[in-house]
């Protein structure tokens, strides 16, 4: 028996990214790739679960995963559109941020030439790298095209429903509404609330305005006097009083008559 021991192959380290677009969707379908990765011999260093649109570049778990990446690691996802539905330039910047950590993507549907490239040099290596980049760009663009096609079909469907008088708007999301209310009441700004609740600032303003008006009515204030958040809170006694500059310059009934009466 040879005294030399065969060197064991280095363990491949993977970080797995799971994403769905909305709270109503379930990540369970994607969980199978964790078992598959381990079965393929990967050591799974991290699992990142996210409920956010792939058309957003500021996804917290995605950014955390990129920050955690170490040289030689592999990013695994169910499909390329789980990683990105961004416009191609932004998608390429995202992929570049992964490659800059000396990590790579391993996604079904995108041919991985990294092992073959590592065994070649000179012109053949350059050619293989160019092919790999082209295949990846094609996959990223297809993911974006699919996203835009879905949006366009949705828009057309809404227009048809409106024309038929059947459109009732987007269904309310009680969970998100309660989250927005809780965040605002805890003192978070509109923009910070929108970020934490994964919605737009305009949606936060609309929800908070509805809550403010409802509280004003419950406390006996006139709805007309509670046209803004500050007014509503002031009307209920929970906020600061209206500035004198914002209060209409109207004298109480009869005050003008009394003011016009001097000493007789």
Catalytic residues: 21
State the Rg of the chain over Cα: 29
The beta strand positions in the chain, using DSSP E, are 12-20, 42-51, 74-77, 104-106
Upper half-sphere CA count for residue 145 (Cβ side, 13 Å): 6
Task: Kindly give, in sequence order, each residue whose CB lies less than 8 Å from that of residue 147, ignoring residues fewer than 6 positions away.
Answer: 54, 55, 81, 85
Exposed/middle/buried for residue 70 (C-beta within 10 Å: 0-12, 13-18, 19+): exposed
DSSP conformation class of 110 = S
Instruction: Give the three-class secondary structure for 173.
Output: coil
Exposed/middle/buried for residue 130 (C-beta within 10 Å: 0-12, 13-18, 19+): exposed
Upper half-sphere CA count for residue 171 (Cβ side, 13 Å): 5
Q: Find, among 44, 19, 60, 32, the residue nearest to 143 by Cα.
A: 19
């Amino acid at each position: 028996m040879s005294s030399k021991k065969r060197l064991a192959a280095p363990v491949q380290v993977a970080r797995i990214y799971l994403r769905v677009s909305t709270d109503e969707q379930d990540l369970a379908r994607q969980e199978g790739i964790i078992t598959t990765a381990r079965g393929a011999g990967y050591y799974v260093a991290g699992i990142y679960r996210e409920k956010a649109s792939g058309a957003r570049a500021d996804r917290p778990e995605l950014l955390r995963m990129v920050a955690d990446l170490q040289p030689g690691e592999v990013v695994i996802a169910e499909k390329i559109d789980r990683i990105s539905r961004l416009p191609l330039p932004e998608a390429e910047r995202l992929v570049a941020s992964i490659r800059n950590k000396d990590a790579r993507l391993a996604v079904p549907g995108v041919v991985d030439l990294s092992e073959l490239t590592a065994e070649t040099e000179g012109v053949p290596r350059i050619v293989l790298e160019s092919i790999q980049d082209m295949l990846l760009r094609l996959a990223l663009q297809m993911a974006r095209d699919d996203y835009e096609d879905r949006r366009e079909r949705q828009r057309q469907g809404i227009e048809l429903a409106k024309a038929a008088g059947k459109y009732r708007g987007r269904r309310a999301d009680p969970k998100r509404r309660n989250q927005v209310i809780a965040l605002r009441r805890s003192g978070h700004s509109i923009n910070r609330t929108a970020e934490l609740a994964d919605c737009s600032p305009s949606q936060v303003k609309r929800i908070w305005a509805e809550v403010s008006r409802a509280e004003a009515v419950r406390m006996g204030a006139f709805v007309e006097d509670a046209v803004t958040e500050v007014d509503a809170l002031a009307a209920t006694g929970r906020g600061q009083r209206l500035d004198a500059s914002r209060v209409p310059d109207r004298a109480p009934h009869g005050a003008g008559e009394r003011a016009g009466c001097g000493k007789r």
